[in-house]
Amino acid sequence: MAQAISLNVNGKPASVHADDPDMPLLYALRNDLGLHGPRFGCGLGQCGACTVHVDGRAVRSCVLPLSALSAEQRIVTLEGLGSGGRLHPVQQAFIDEQAVQCGYCINGMIMKAAAFLATNRQPNEADIKEALANNLCRCGTHARIVRAVKRAAGAT
Which residues contribute to the site for ligand FES (CB under 6 A)? 40-43, 45-50, 60, 62, 100-106, 137-139, 141
Q: Smallest distance from the beta carbon of 144 to ligand FES, in angstroms?
A: 9
Distance of closest approach, residue 1 Cβ to ligand FES, in angstroms: 28
Specify the residue, 9 or 11, whose C-beta has the smaller distance to ligand FES: 9
Least distance in angstroms from the C-beta of 112 to ligand FES: 11
Question: Helix, strand or coil for residue 3?
Answer: strand
What percentage of the chain's residues is helix, strand, coil (to nearest 5)? 40, 20, 45
- When the beta carbons of 71 and 99 are compared against ligand FES, the nearer one is 99
Q: Cβ of residue 145: shortest distance to ligand FES, in angstroms?
A: 8
**What's the distance, CA 20 to chain centroid?**
23
Residue 18 or 105: which CB sits closer to ligand FES?
Answer: 105
CA distance 44 to 95: 28
Q: Which is nearer to ligand FES, 71 or 95 (CB)?
A: 95
DSSP-derived secondary structure letter, 91: H
In angstroms, rounded to a whole number, what is the distance separating the alpha carbons of residues 48 and 111? 9
**Of 10 and 51, CB closest to ligand FES:** 51
Instruction: Give the SS3 label for residue 8.
Output: strand
Contacts of 147 (CB under 8 A, 6+ apart): 97, 99
* Rounded least distance, CB 92 to ligand FES, Å: 17
